[in-house]
Structure 1
Amino acid sequence: MSIPSGARDALPQVPEAVHRRRWAILVVLMFSLLIVVLDNSILNVAVKTIAGPAPTGLGATQSELEWAINAYTLVFAGLLFTAGLLGDRIGRKKVLLFGIGLFGVGSALAAMSGSPGELITWRAVMGFGAAFVMPATLAVLMNVFERDEQPKAIGIWAGSVGLAIAIGPITGGLLLEHFWWGSIFLVNVPVVIVALIAMVVLVPDSKDPNPGRTDPLGVVLSFVGLVLLVYGIIRGGQLADFADPTVLLPIIGGLVVLAAFVRHEKRTSHPAIDISYFKQPSFSAAVASMALVFFALMGVTFFSAFYMQSVRGWSALQAGLLILPLAAAQMIFAPRARLVVDRFGARVVCTVGMLLVALGLAAFALFDATTPVWVLCVLFFVQGTGMAHVMTPVTVSVMQALPREKAGSGSAINNTFRQVGGALGIAVLGSVLSTVYRGEIEGHLGALPAGAREAAGESIESTLGLADKLGPAGAPLVAAANDAFLKAMHVTAIGSATIALVGALVVAMFLPGRTPAGQKSGEGERSVRAGVGR
C-alpha cells in the first residue's frame, strides 16, 4: 500500500506526548477539513435562492452565480501548492491557524454581502483560507502518526471528505428552510472559533528542519500556471466551447507556464518540489488516478443534482439525503481500506475500486424519470465503496513516498491534482451535457421568439422556467425537456464511466502489487514500538 522509505522511518519519530493525543488531533483536523469541503457543496443548493430578488436573495445573474462558485475554486486551486510549501517552511500549525481564521472571516463577510460582487469577493477570500487548510491537515496527520498507523488515519481523513460532500446539501437545505441565504456562510463562524481553540490546545507544530533556500521563481510559476489552467477550464465549462480563444489561450498559457515550472525545478539547486518523485511510476500513477476519479465523480455529481431536482422534482434537501449512502460507504470502508490492501495489494484494490466507480457512473445511462429510489441509493453506495478503496491507498502512496519533512509538499501535490481533476470534470462533462441537451431540445422550441428560444435552450432549468410561465400549454415542453436531459445525462454518464475505466487501467499498470509478508511497510517500526503504551 505504501512506498518503502528506507531508514528514515525505521524508528519512532513522533514524541510520546504527541503520540498519546494523536486521535484527538485527528478529530480536530477532520473538523477543519469538514467545514472547508462542506461549504462548497452547501452553496450549490442555495444558488436559486441567491438568484432571487432582494430581500430574499441578491438578484444574482447566472454568470454571477457561476463566479460565486468559481472564485473560490480558482483561488483555492492556484494557492494549494504554495500553501503546502509554506507549511513545510514556516510551520504547519501556523499555516493551519491562518487558513482557518481567514476562512472564518471570509464566511462572516460573505453572509453579510449586499451585492453579487461582494459575494464573489468574499468567496475568493474563503478560497484563499481554504487553500492553507486542506494541505496542512494532511501534513500534520503525517507528522503525528507513526508510519504503520498512517494508512488508517488517512482512511479516516479521506472518509471525512465524502461525509462533507454528502451532508453539505442536507445542511444547506435545512438552513434555507428556516433562515435567510446568508446562514449557509454564517454557520461556519462558530465552528471556526471552536476549531481555532482546539488547534491551539491540541495540535503540535512541525516543519522541515532543513528547508534550504527559498525558490520564489518556482512558487510564482506554479501559482500563475495553475490559475491560468483552472481559469481556462472554468471558462470552457461556462461557454461549453473549449475552442473559444478565451478558453484556449489561458489553458495553453497555463500549460506553458507549468512546463517552465517543471524545467526550472529540474535545473535549480534548491527546487520547491523534487520533480524526480514523478519518475516513480507508482507515485505518478497515484496522483493521476486521484485526478481521474475526481474528474469522473465531480462530473456525475454535477448532472445528478439536475436529474434529482429538475427531472424527478425532489427538493434540495431530499436530493441531499439521497447522497447519504455515498457518505456512509466512505465512512465505513475508507478507514478499513488498508486491511484489504495488506491482503491483496494496492494494485488490485485500487483497480477494483475504479471499476466500481465506473460501474456506478455507467448505471446512470440506464436511468429514466421513474427509476426507483432504492436503485439510486444502491448506486451511490457502490460509488462510495469504490472511492473509499481508491482515495485511501493512492493518498497513502503519495504521502509515504516523501519524507515527513516534505509532508506539506506531498499533501499539496495530492490535493492540487484532485482539485484540477474535479474542475476539469465539471467543465468538460458539463459542456457535454449542455451540448447534447441543446441539440435535443432545439426541435421543440421552434414556435418561440428567437430571444426566448435561445434562453430556453441553455439548460433544463431555463426550459422548465419558460414552460412554467406558459401554464398548461407548457406541459409538452416539460416532457420534451425531461427527455432531452435524460438523453444528455446518458451520454455524459458514459463519458464519466470511460474516464473511470482509464483510471482503472492506470492503476492496474503502475501501482505496486502486494508487498511480501516479511517486507510490509512499517514492520520495523511496529517491532520497535512493541510494548510502548498507546
Structure 2
Amino acid sequence: MRSRDSAPPQDTEQSNTTGWTLRQIWMLTVACCAVALVVAAMAALNTALPDLARDTGATQSQLTWIVDGYTLTLAALLLPAGALGDRYGRRGLLMVGLLIFGLGSAIPILNDSPEWIIGSRAMAGVGAALVMPATLSLLTAGFPPAHRGRAVGIWSGVAGSGAIAGLLVSGLLLEKWSWHAIFISLAVVSALIFVTGFTISSSRETERPPLDLPGTALIAAAVGLFVLGTIEAPQRGWLDPVVLGLLVGGLAAAAAFALVELRRKRPLLDVRLFANRAFGSGSMSLLLQFLASLGLFFLVVQYLQLVLNYSPLQSALALAPIAVPVVAMSAVMPMLIPHVGLRPLLASGSALLGLGILLLVRLDAHSSYAEVCGPLIVAAFGIGLCTAPATAAIVQNTPDAKQGVASAVNDTAREIGSAIGVALAGSVLAAGYGTHVQPAVDAVPEAAKEPVSSSLAAALQVAEVAGPQGEQLATFARDSFLKGFDEASIVLACVLFAASLLLAVWAPGRKGSAPTTESPKELADVD
C-alpha cells in the first residue's frame, strides 16, 4: 500500500534527475519551521520561570507542571497522532495541530493564573503532538527515495537544535519585555506557519482502515504513565511508591500494547518492525541520544547561570555553537548510510557524545567560555554523527503508507529519552549536591537549612542576606554543586559509552542498513 501525494507526477520525476523541486524545498522549509516551533516551545519557558513565579505567585510544583505539562501530553499522544495523519491526511493534521498549539499558547495572554498557564501548556502539547509526526511524514511521502535521506537529515538537525533556538529567542525577548512576550511569539509564529500550510501538498493512506482504539488507549497510557513517573522521580525519589507505581504501570501498559498489536489485523503500530535491526537500533539510539542531550542541557544551563553568573540570554548564546555542527552534519550523514552502514555512525556518534559530556568534569567555578565550549563542540559532533542516521533508519524501514506512525515512533523516542535524561541528571545532581553541602547545612540557622540543602539557587539567595558569612556559604554551595555536576556528567557519559557498545553489536552493517519496503512479517535481520 502506497501513500498518495498530491504533488504532480512530473515534480517527482524531475526531483529524481535534476535535484529538488521548488515545491519540495518549500515543503521542507514549512516542515522545518513547524517542528522548530514545537521543539523550541519545550525549552522557551525555562528562562522565564523566575519572573513567572514572581508575577503569578506560582509554587515550585506549579512551575514544574508549567514546563512538564507540555511534555507529558506531547509524548503520550504522538503515536495516535501519527496514525491519524496517515489515515486522514498529514497536511490536515499539521494544520489542526498548529491551530490548537496557537490557541493554547494564546491563553496566558488573556489569563495568567498558574492554573490557566498549566492548562494552556497541556493544550499546546496536544497541538504539538499533531504537528511533530506530520512534519516528518510529509517529507518522507513527498520526497523520492533518492533525495529523502537528505531531507530527513535537515529536518533532524533542525529538530535537534530547536531547544537551543527556544532558549535563545526567549532570552532575547526577556531582555526587553515580560514573559508574556514568549507566549505572544509562540502564538504569532504558529499563526504564520498555519497560513503557509495551505501552500503545501498533502499525503495519506489510499485506504482508511478502522482506528485501533485499544492500541491508542494502551500506548497513550504507557507513554503517559512512564513519562509522568520520570517527571516525579527527582522530587519524590526513584524508589518512592508513587514513582515506582507509575513506571511499572507504564511498562505494563506497553507490554499489553505489544500483545494487543500482535493480534490485530490493522494495528496502530506493528511491533514486529522492531525486529528489523535498523529500525530497532535507530529507535533505541534516538532515545539514548536525547536522554544524554537533554541531560547535558539541564546541567550546563544551571552551571552557566548559577556558577559563572551568565544571564539567561548569555547562557543561550553560549549554547548556540552546538547547533552549527548538528545541522551541518545532519544534512549529509544519511547519505553515508549506504556506504558505511548504521553501525559505525551510531556507535561512534554515541561514544563521541559521551566523551563530550565526560569532559564537563574539567570545569570549575573559574572556567573560561573557551573551556566550556570545547566539551559542547565535541558533544555536538557526536549528535551530528548519529541523530539523522537514526531517524533515517526508522523512516526508511517503515512501509510508505505508515510514515505518520514511523515519524511518531521517532518523536516518541526523542520525548521519552528527553524526560528520562532530565530526570536522571536532575536526580544525580540533587543527590550529589545534597550530600556535599551537608556540612554547610549543619552550620546555618534552622530557617536556612531547608533552602540551602534544596538547591544551589536557593542557597545563593540565602547567601545574599547572610552578612559576612554569605560569601563563604556561596563558595561552599557552588563547590558542592560542581561535585554533583561531575557525578551527573559521569553517569550520563557512562550511559552513552554503554550505548555505543550496544549499538556496535546491534546496529546493522552496510548491507543490513539498506532501506526496505517489505512488510514487517517479511523483515529479516541482515548484517
Deviation at 1:14, TM superposition (A): 7.3
Q: Which residue of the partner structure matches residue 519 of structure 2? A: none
Is 1:219 the equivalent of 2:216?
yes
Q: Which residue of the partner structure matches residue 9 of structure 2? A: 15
Q: Which residue of the partner structure matches residue 141 of structure 1? A: 139
CA distance in 1, matches of 2:247, 2:424: 13
Deviation at 1:365, TM superposition (A): 1.4
Q: Which residue of the partner structure matches residue 99 of structure 1? A: 97
Is 1:473 the equivalent of 2:469?
yes
Deviation at 1:458, TM superposition (A): 0.7
Within a 5 Å distance, the mapping from 1:124-273 to structure 2 comes to 124-201=122-199, 203-239=200-236, 241-273=237-269
| 8 A contact 2:363–2:372 mirrored in 1 | no
CA distance in 1, matches of 2:165, 2:418: 19
| 8 A contact 1:14–1:144 mirrored in 2 | no
Deviation at 1:190, TM superposition (A): 2.4
28-37 or 203-212, which deviates more: 203-212
CA distance in 2, matches of 1:507, 1:14: 40
Q: Which residue of the partner structure matches residue 38 of structure 1? A: 40
User: What is the root-mean-square deviation in Å for CA atoms of aligned residues?
Assistant: 2.0
CA distance in 1, matches of 2:80, 2:335: 34
CA distance in 2, matches of 1:128, 1:213: 22
Q: Which residue of the partner structure matches residue 319 of structure 1? A: 315
Q: Which residue of the partner structure matches residue 27 of structure 1? A: 29
Deviation at 1:509, TM superposition (A): 1.1
416-425 or 110-119, which deviates more: 110-119
Deviation at 1:8, TM superposition (A): 7.5
CA distance in 1, matches of 2:160, 2:438: 37
Deviation at 1:363, TM superposition (A): 0.5
- Distance of aligned partners of 1:339 and 1:263 in 2 relative to their CA distance in 1, 3 Å threshold: closer
Corresponding pairs, count: 506
Amino acid at match of 1:103: F
| 8 A contact 2:104–2:123 mirrored in 1 | yes
| 8 A contact 1:360–1:383 mirrored in 2 | yes
Structure 1 residue matching 2:145: 3-state secondary structure: coil
Deviation at 1:109, TM superposition (A): 0.9
Structure 2 residue matching 1:148: 3-state secondary structure: helix
CA distance in 2, matches of 1:521, 1:162: 23
Amino acid at match of 2:148: Q
- Once the two structures are superposed, residues 320-352 of structure 1 have per-residue CA deviations (whole angstroms, 9 ceiling, x without a partner) of 111111101112111011344344322112211
Deviation at 1:520, TM superposition (A): 6.6
Amino acid at match of 1:221: L
- Once the two structures are superposed, residues 446-481 of structure 1 have per-residue CA deviations (whole angstroms, 9 ceiling, x without a partner) of 133434302221111111111112133211110001
- Distance of aligned partners of 1:15 and 1:450 in 2 relative to their CA distance in 1, 3 Å threshold: farther
Q: Which residue of the partner structure matches residue 396 of structure 2? A: 400
CA distance in 2, matches of 1:75, 1:340: 35
Deviation at 1:107, TM superposition (A): 0.9
1:488 to 480, 484, 509: 484
- Once the two structures are superposed, residues 408-452 of structure 1 have per-residue CA deviations (whole angstroms, 9 ceiling, x without a partner) of 010111111111111011112211110110011011121334343
CA distance in 2, matches of 1:520, 1:148: 12
TM score, norm. by length of structure 1: 0.91
Q: Which residue of the partner structure matches residue 352 of structure 2? A: 356
CA distance in 2, matches of 1:508, 1:15: 41
CA distance in 2, matches of 1:247, 1:35: 31
Deviation at 1:16, TM superposition (A): 2.8
- Distance of aligned partners of 1:68 and 1:430 in 2 relative to their CA distance in 1, 3 Å threshold: same
Percentage of pairs with the same residue: 33
| 8 A contact 2:86–2:402 mirrored in 1 | yes
| 8 A contact 1:295–1:499 mirrored in 2 | no
Within a 5 Å distance, the mapping from 1:329-368 to structure 2 comes to 329-368=325-364
CA distance in 2, matches of 1:74, 1:521: 32
CA distance in 2, matches of 1:16, 1:124: 42
Structure 2 residue matching 1:207: 3-state secondary structure: strand
313-322 or 331-340, which deviates more: 331-340
Is 1:423 the equivalent of 2:425?
no
Is 1:65 the equivalent of 2:63?
yes
| 8 A contact 1:347–1:507 mirrored in 2 | yes
Deviation at 1:257, TM superposition (A): 1.2
CA distance in 2, matches of 1:61, 1:277: 44
Amino acid at match of 2:213: P
191-200 or 89-98, which deviates more: 191-200
Q: Which residue of the partner structure matches residue 108 of structure 2? A: 110
Deviation at 1:60, TM superposition (A): 1.5
Amino acid at match of 1:293: Q
Q: Which residue of the partner structure matches residue 80 of structure 1? A: 78
CA distance in 2, matches of 1:330, 1:110: 33
98-107 or 347-356, which deviates more: 347-356
Q: Which residue of the partner structure matches residue 371 of structure 1? A: 367
TM score, norm. by length of structure 2: 0.92
448-457 or 221-230, which deviates more: 448-457
- Distance of aligned partners of 1:264 and 1:342 in 2 relative to their CA distance in 1, 3 Å threshold: closer
Deviation at 1:111, TM superposition (A): 3.1
CA distance in 2, matches of 1:122, 1:354: 36
- Once the two structures are superposed, residues 5-60 of structure 1 have per-residue CA deviations (whole angstroms, 9 ceiling, x without a partner) of xx989xxx9733476310111000011111111122111111111111xxxx2121
| 8 A contact 1:434–1:488 mirrored in 2 | yes
Task: Give structure 2 stretches of 5+ with no counterpart.
Answer: 16-20, 517-527
Structure 2 residue matching 1:314: 3-state secondary structure: coil
| 8 A contact 1:35–1:188 mirrored in 2 | yes
Structure 2 residue matching 1:422: 3-state secondary structure: helix
Q: Which residue of the partner structure matches residue 50 of structure 1? A: 52
Q: Which residue of the partner structure matches residue 391 of structure 1? A: 387
CA distance in 1, matches of 2:269, 2:2: 19
Deviation at 1:180, TM superposition (A): 1.2
- Once the two structures are superposed, residues 234-272 of structure 1 have per-residue CA deviations (whole angstroms, 9 ceiling, x without a partner) of 111232x11111111111111111111111111122211
- Once the two structures are superposed, residues 479-508 of structure 1 have per-residue CA deviations (whole angstroms, 9 ceiling, x without a partner) of 001100110011100001011112212221
CA distance in 2, matches of 1:284, 1:347: 12
- Once the two structures are superposed, residues 377-418 of structure 1 have per-residue CA deviations (whole angstroms, 9 ceiling, x without a partner) of 232222111111111111111001111110001011111111
- Distance of aligned partners of 1:227 and 1:338 in 2 relative to their CA distance in 1, 3 Å threshold: closer
| 8 A contact 1:93–1:204 mirrored in 2 | yes
CA distance in 2, matches of 1:96, 1:232: 29
